[in-house]
Structure formats: structure tokens, C-alpha cells
Chains A and B, each alone.
Chain A
Amino acid sequence: MTITTLGESLGTDAAGQVPVASVPPARQRRRSATRAGIVPYLFIAPGLALFALTVLYPTFQAFQLSFFDWKLVASASKFIGLDNYVRAFQDDHFWLSLSNSGIYMVLTVVPQIVIGLAIALLLARKSPTQPLFRVLFYLPVVTSWVVVSLLFRFLFSDDGLINFTLGDFLHLTDGSTPWLADRWTALLAICALGVWKGIGWSMMIFLAALQGVPTALLEAAEMDGANRWQRFRAVTVPAIWPALLFVTVMLVIGGFNVFVSVYLMTGGGPAGRTDVLLTYMYSQAFENLDFGYGSAIAVLLTIIVFVLSVVQLRVFRDRNGEGAL
């Protein structure tokens, strides 16, 4: 009897399937050709109805607002077509926020994958200490974003622990770096929080995926004289490829949707230079009460993330024919 693992669920089973949007119907039919008439619709009906009512319908409304100069009151609101979008494209601060979101995404996704995978590899082998380490590395994931954002603002403050460690303890700097005073160092601090908080999450998924790596293949490769790196490349990576895809797609989406940590650590400051798309959207919508423009920014963000996700799915498929799509 075989019991599945998370790793396999992410695609190390025979058909190389992953839980990703676009599994071609043909392949689907091959493994589970249960035609059941109305039954599947009954299974999805409750969830889909709930989703349509509470997520899709509000999404549609928010999308419509992006075509209005929306002022809460009917007499003041008017349809302005694509003006909000044109405004975004001509707005320097929109581009700054977009680039900050992009920088955050790039700087957090790669370390979360690399470090998460490295720790997972170190923890893959069963040992008495494995459960303890798993909890320790997972601790940041379960701690509230609000709490850790306040905590990191405190740690990266001028008199905080980071400066103390770098200056008085390690003597790497003079210990008075004003981390949150400059766009780049502040983004670095925000990214540090993102990576610190996210490593445990990707580690967990990789750890599970690694359990599905065919040990027999690894042994065979070792007997053929393959070194550790070659075995990793030839056996491990293909086996965890779908997990890599899942983690990457989720982290890219999450990276572009960063909000709470920026809002609480710098508030977009100094002078808006660390604004990301969502903090900018928030201040437009809820401080300037310009909800039409705020909605347009959010729609653009959704489109960017959607396109990036599709591109990733294709790239991953091209790299690994048996993989994602």
C-alpha cells in the first residue's frame, strides 16, 4: 500500500502531474476516466458558489470602478474610460512602486528557494534532531505578519539589534547604519523580513518533495560514478521539479502582493521611495479617497502577476517535457 506525500502530490508520481491549473484533459482522462455526469458538479457546487459570490462578484465590481472617477457619491462619480490606466502609465510614482515590487519579488523569491532547498536537503536525512530543527525553521512562518513587521522595524531601527550586531559585535560596520532612511537599505530590510519569514514555508514543501526522490536511481547514479552535484542535477532536480514550479509560482504571486510588511516597517517612506504597488494603491484609495485610480493599480498588478504565472508555467514545461503543463 502506498501512501502519498506532499512531494509526490506536487508531481513526482508516474505521470509527472502537478496540481497546476492547466493539466491537459487528455492526460487527465488517462488516469482518472471516471465520467460521472452531474456528480462532479455537485462536489464543486458549494465551493464554487461561495467563491463566485464573495470573491468573483466583488472582483468584477472593483474592476468596473477602475473605469470611473469614483467619489463615493453618484453625482460626483463619472465614467472616464481608460483615464485611470493612462494616468498610471504616466505616473512616475506608479513606476517606482512597480519597480520596488519587482525588486522585492526578485530579492525574496530566489533566496527563499535556494536557502529553503538547502535546508531541506540538510534535513532530508532522518535523525533525532530533525523534528526540532523543523519546528525552529518553521517558527517564523507561524508568527503573525503584523507582529514580525513591528519586530523587524524595531530590529532595523538605528539603535536596533542589527546595528548592534554588525557594529559592536562583529565590527563590520560602524553600527550606525540608518537602514530605514534610504530606499535601497530599507528595501533590503523589508526583503530580509520576507526571506526570513518565508524560508520555512518553502523548506517544508521541498522537504516533503525530497521524500519522493527515487532512492534507487540515486544509488544507481552513485555506482556509475556520478558525483554529488551530478546526482543532484540528474536525479533530485527532475524529481522535485514540480515542487519547484509550485513554490516559484506561489512566491512570485506573494512577492508582488507584499503589503503589510512595507506598510508597517516604513509606511512607504522616506518620501514614498519604498512604496510598493499595494501601499501606493492603499494610499490612493484610502487616504486620497481616489478609489477608481486605486482599483486601476490593483487591476494592473493582477494582470502582471497573471502573465508572469503563465510565463513561468511555460518556461518550466520547456525545461522539463514531462513536467508542468
Chain B
Amino acid sequence: MKRSRLIAATAVAASLALVATGCAATGGDEGSSDEPVTITFWGSYGNGGNSAQQDVLNDTLIPAFEAEHPNITVQYVDVPYDDLLQKLTTSAAGDELPDLVRADLGWVPKFADLGVLVPLSQAMPDFQELADATFPGVLSTNLWKGDYYGLPLDTNTRVLITSQAALDAAGLDAPPATFADLEKAAGTLEGTGISLFADGGLGAWNISPWIWSGGGAITDDDMTTASGYLDGAKTVATVQMLVDLYQAGQISTGITGNAGATSTAEGLPGNNYATIFDGPWMNGIWADQFPDFQPIYAPIPAGDGGSVSVVGGEDIVLTASSKHQEAAMEFIRFTQTEQFQMALVPTGQLTVIKDFGDEQVATVPYLKVFTDQLATAKARLAIPQGSEVDTILNEELVPAFEGTVTVKEALGNAAKRIDELLAEQ
């Protein structure tokens, strides 16, 4: 490449990049004046054909906020969940991000690392007060290199879900409470055509509850190494248990990436599967599509590590390019109020505020199991390469489930590859 070309190329890339950051410094304070402002807010509340959450937001919450703040208009844009990240990336490159994003908690470090988010712990004088009210597990997903780049918006976790029909078939009086109960149920189910368990993959979201409940870990507490943890004896034993169940035909092939396996959402009511791990949003989906189905919620079966699930949910983040940062922060404060939090509870969004836990269970009794599970639930690795971790876990573990490599080898390889990612920090 000729030198002049090289310079031109550098200039173009730099200009592309500059566009992305140029406005970071100009995000101004216009919310304090009485000038009418419009703030945009992107998210995936639409949730497929089930519009319950989106309706609450558009019909109740946003009008309530606008009534309190007559100079602020909030425009919510629903984006298909699977495409939101692509749209955010492209918009970030073009400096066209909205003011606020309801971001999956795995994306916060990713975008914080790219410098397109406002560190709320610096920008909001009352940040500490707001943060202290939330559950620490979900709050921790907003921390990146010493600053908090968002606040928890809603949270969720996975619990064991089963049905009376499945319990009858498995010869159980109550949902399996331990790993041992599960293995016993597997024996009873043999030959019934019902699989013991089903899941949709082997990413951190899927496999973490097993590993943690079995007493294992993915990395050390400081997130510096996976070797010695992900391939530790307890993790290996837990995954080995799953592999044995899988090879005995007791776990659906959906877990190894078979896109044609009956989905967990249909397979549990359809009595293809006896148990699944899933979140609180399923209640509404089943009520719509399988009105006769009565899900039974129970804690994740306990192993040596107790019953430990994984924290999910969304954080609300403010973009550096927002021209109405004060108004946007006002909306962020609104999302932490009882009014906002409790309005979404009936749609399966768990509150992130500790003090509302009891009220939540009183309003929606089925959320009790989820609320209790959250007390011990842990967050996944909060690093920008979260999606690469999922890819690694899937790529290495699928061969172990298929029996072409040993569990120990598979986890050892995965640990090495995750070490490399951690070393980039």
C-alpha cells in the first residue's frame, strides 16, 4: 500500500471513529430549561407477539412520566431482541445512538469499553443513593473499570420449572430439590418418552447455574483466570453428570444446539420435557398460548454448592451522544421508582429494588421462588467479550456432550481460551 493511500485510509477510519466520539463532550444540559425536549429510548419490551410489557410502558408509565415532566417527551422504540445489538453497533458507529437504551446486562461492559456510554456514577450526584437501593448482583453488571455505566432496570433469574404431569410420570411428590433427586427421576422417566431436562444451549446463561450449584466456578473472584476453576474437579463432576444424562437420552438435543428440537417453551407444556430452567417471563407466554398449563416453580436443584442461579435482566444506560442528558437522567430516576418497578412486575419483570421484594411477592405470588432465588444468584463475567465466552463454552462443550472428547479436556480447553480473553483486559 502506498504511503498516501495509507494516510488516506487512516484518515477515513479516524473520521468514522471521530464521528462516533465527537459528540461525547457536547452532551449538554438542556433538561433544566423549560424548552420541550424529546428523549428516545430503545429496547425489546415487545417480546414477540406478547405485548404486555410494551403496553404497560407506552400506555401507563411513559404518560405518567410525561405528566410529571411536561417539557419532556419520551419516544420508545421497540427493536426485535435478536437484532438490537446490530442496530446499536451501527448506530454507535454513526453517532446516532438514542438517549437511553435498555441494554442486556452483558452489553454494558462492551459499550462502556467503546466509550459510548456516560459513567452514571460520575454524572449523577444521587447515583450512590439509587445504586444502594438495588440488588448488588445485578448492580455489579454495570461496573466497568471502576465506574458504573448504568443502573439496573429489571432483573430476572432462572429457576426450575416443572408440571404436575411430569412429576407424576417421574414418580415424585415435589420438584427435584437436589442433583440426587434429579438423577433418581431420570431413572423413573426412562421409557416414558419424556426427557428429564431441556435447555437451549451451553452458554454461560445455560450452564452457570449447574456449575455454581455443583460447587464449581468459572473464574477466580477477581476474574483473572479460568484455569483451575472452570476445569476444577467440582465443575468437571457437575458437567459429567449432565453429559451422562444427555448420553442416556434424558436431556433434549436442544442443549447442544439442535435448532429443530422442540423448544423448552413448548416442550414443557407439551409434556416432552419434565423440567426446564427458565425465567419469570414465561408465565405470560404460557398463559397466552397454553392456557390450561399450570407451571410449578422451584429452586434450582442443589448440589455441593447449594442452589445458585444466574442473574439476568436489563440495565438502563445513557449514551455519551445524548443531547438531553439531564432529561434522560430524570427518566432513569423514574425507572427506579416504585411506580415504574411495580407496574412491570405483573408482566414478569422482577424489581431490582430490594425494598420492593415483599410487595412484589404479595402482588404476584408466583414470583416468590424467583425472588428467593435472586438472593443467592450470581452474575456472569462482566467483560466486553461476553459473547465470545458463550461461543467458547458452546464450541468446547458440545463435543464433550457428544462423547468425542472427555469433559476434563473440554473444560480445560475452554479455560485456556477464556484465560486469553481475560488477559486482554
Touch A–B, Cβ below 8 Å: yes
A residues with a Cβ closer than 8 A to B are 61, 64-65, 67-68, 70-77, 79, 81, 153, 156-160, 178-181, 186, 265-267, 269-272, 282-283, 285-289, 291
A281 to chain B, nearest CB (A): 12
Q: Are A271 and B89 in contact (CB under 8 A)?
A: no
Q: Which residues of A contact B110 (CB under 8 A)?
A: 289
A271 B394 Cβ-Cβ under 8 A: yes
Distance A156 CA – B262 CA, assembled complex (angstroms): 11
What distance in Å separates the Cβ of A5 from its nearest Cβ neighbour in chain B?
42
Q: Which residues of chain B come closer than 8 Å to A291, judged between CB atoms?
A: 89, 93
Min CB distance, B163 to chain A, in Å? 19
Minimum CB distance partner of A93 in chain B: B395
User: Taking the nearest CB of chain A, how far is it from the CB of B277, in angstroms?
Assistant: 19
Closest-CB distance, B49 to chain A (whole angstroms): 13
List B residues at the A interface (Cβ < 8 Å).
Answer: 1, 6, 9-10, 12-14, 16-18, 20-21, 85-86, 89-90, 92-93, 110, 114-116, 201, 253, 256-262, 384-385, 387-388, 391, 394-395, 398-399
Q: In the complex, what's the smallest C-beta–C-beta distance from B31 to chain A, in angstroms?
A: 26
| Residues A65 and B260 in contact in the complex (CB < 8 Å), given A72-B92, A79-B6, A286-B85 | no
Query: What's the minimum C-beta distance from A186 to chain B, rounded to whole angstroms?
Result: 8
A-B pair number, CB within 8 angstroms: 118
Q: Which residue of A lies closest to B399 (CB)?
A: A271
Instruction: List, in ascending order, chain B residues with CB within 8 A of A64's CB.
Output: 9, 12-13
Provide the residues of chain A in CB contact with B6, threshold 8 Å.
79
Main SS class of interface, B:
helix
CA distance A241 to B201 in the complex (A): 48
Interface residue from B13, B86, B93 paired with A68 (Cβ < 8 Å): B13
Q: How far is the CA of A149 from the CA of B123 in the complex (A)?
A: 46
Q: What's the minimum C-beta distance from B56 to chain A, rounded to whole angstroms?
A: 28
A289's partner among B9, B89, B260 (CB-CB below 8 A) is B89
Q: Are A157 and B260 in contact (CB under 8 A)?
A: yes
Q: Is the CB of A73 within 8 A of B17?
A: yes
Q: Are B262 and A157 in contact (CB under 8 A)?
A: yes
* Choice from A73, A81, A179 contacting B20 with Cβ under 8 Å: A73
> Does the CB pair B260–A153 fall under 8 Å?
yes
Contacts of B394 in A (CB 8 A): 269-272
Given A61-B12, A77-B17, A287-B85; A72-B260 close (CB under 8 Å) = no
Considering the complex of A and B, which 7 residue pairs feature the smallest CB-CB distances, nearest first? Answer: A270-B257, A181-B258, A269-B257, A180-B260, A74-B17, A271-B398, A157-B260
Q: Which residues of A have CB within 8 Å of B16?
A: 61, 65
Using known A-B contacts A70-B13, A158-B258, determine if residue A181 contacts B253 with beta carbons closer than 8 Å: yes
| Chain B residue at smallest Cβ distance from A74 | B17
